[in-house]
Amino acid sequence: MNTNFLNTTFMNTVFSLSLKAAAREPFLLFWSITMPIGGTIGLGLLINQPGYSVQITTGMMAMGILFYAFTTTVFSVLAQRKRGVYKLLRVTPMPLWQYILSVSSAWILISLLCGMLVLSVGAIVFGFSLSPLAVVMIGIVCILGACGYVFFSFFISGLCKSESQASITTNLITLPLLLCSSAFYALDGAPRWIQILSYFNPFQWFISGLRSGCSIDASGWLASVGVLLVILIVSLFLAVKSLGFNKI
């Protein structure tokens, strides 16, 4: 046995294999790449209004990341739980947190790449340009949002006993998040209660962060980053709880 390697070497192996496996996921191709790109181009061309191209591009980016980092990973984590992977990890010398960190990093990186792909297509098709600072600000929001969703997916997968339960639960979570947000339409004309609800909608904060990044609105961006950080910490706490002894 080779024990001279730092643990990071093995975390890298887990990371690169997770990346490879995740990239082969057909749900990724459809829900996080094809559909957001199709939606961005289709709706952007259909509703040909000034400023809408950026709105729909960021909305679709956020949706693609939500679908991958949350919905797809709920199913991946559930499948691993059901097959006893997390139980088996208790037998190995690799701490569970190192494994979770490695696979989560891979999923977060894929989310970031998907988001950036949608952004690039939107920028090319609609001809808007972004400064390097804006791209960095958007990237940071993507990473924070994806982290929160991935950690939340560990918690939700722990509540579900089967794929059908996971399907219902993820739909019950994602649909209100999407519909009570300004991902596809402005909320200015929406009923007051929806506008109030949107203040408590983590997905809306994610979209606001992306849009603030596009326009380099530092105060809006910082507010969104702060909320996303709080969501990330809560999600991490819930994820750790769901992976506790005898719960895996």
Partner 1 sequence: MHLISAKSLVKKFHQKNVINGIDFEIEQGEILALIGPNGVGKSTTIAMLLGILKPDQGSIIYWRPDYRDYVGAQLQSTPFFEGYTAEENLKLFAALYHTKLTKDQIRVELDNCHLSEAAKTPAVKLSLGQQKRLAIGVTNVHHPELVVLDEPSAGLDPRARHEIRAMIQTMAKNRQTVLFSSHDMDEVEQIADRLIFMNDGRIVDAGKPEELMEKYEVSNLEALYLKLTPSQFRGEY
In the complex, what is the shortest distance from the CB of residue 85 to partner 1, in angstroms, rounded to a whole number?
5
* Separation between Cα atoms, residue 214 and residue 210, nearest integer Å: 6
* Helix residue ranges, H only, 127-185: 132-159, 163-179
CB nearer to partner 1: pick between 161 and 175: 161
Interface residues toward partner 1, by CB under 8 A: 1-3, 5, 7, 9-10, 13-14, 17, 20-22, 24-25, 76, 79-80, 82-85, 87-94, 99, 245-246
Which region, left, alpha or beta, applies to residue 216 given φ > 0 means left and ψ of -120 to 50 means alpha?
left
CB nearer to partner 1: pick between 83 and 161: 83
* Separation between Cα atoms, residue 22 and residue 114, nearest integer Å: 12
CB nearer to partner 1: pick between 13 and 171: 13
Token pair in block for residue 192? 């007051």
In the complex, what is the shortest distance from the CB of residue 165 to partner 1, in angstroms, rounded to a whole number?
17
CB nearer to partner 1: pick between 68 and 206: 68
In the complex, what is the shortest distance from the CB of residue 36 to partner 1, in angstroms, rounded to a whole number?
22
Report CA 52 to chain centroid distance, whole Å.
23
Half-sphere exposure of 51 (CA within 13 A, CB side): 4
In the complex, what is the shortest distance from the CB of residue 92 to partner 1, in angstroms, rounded to a whole number?
4
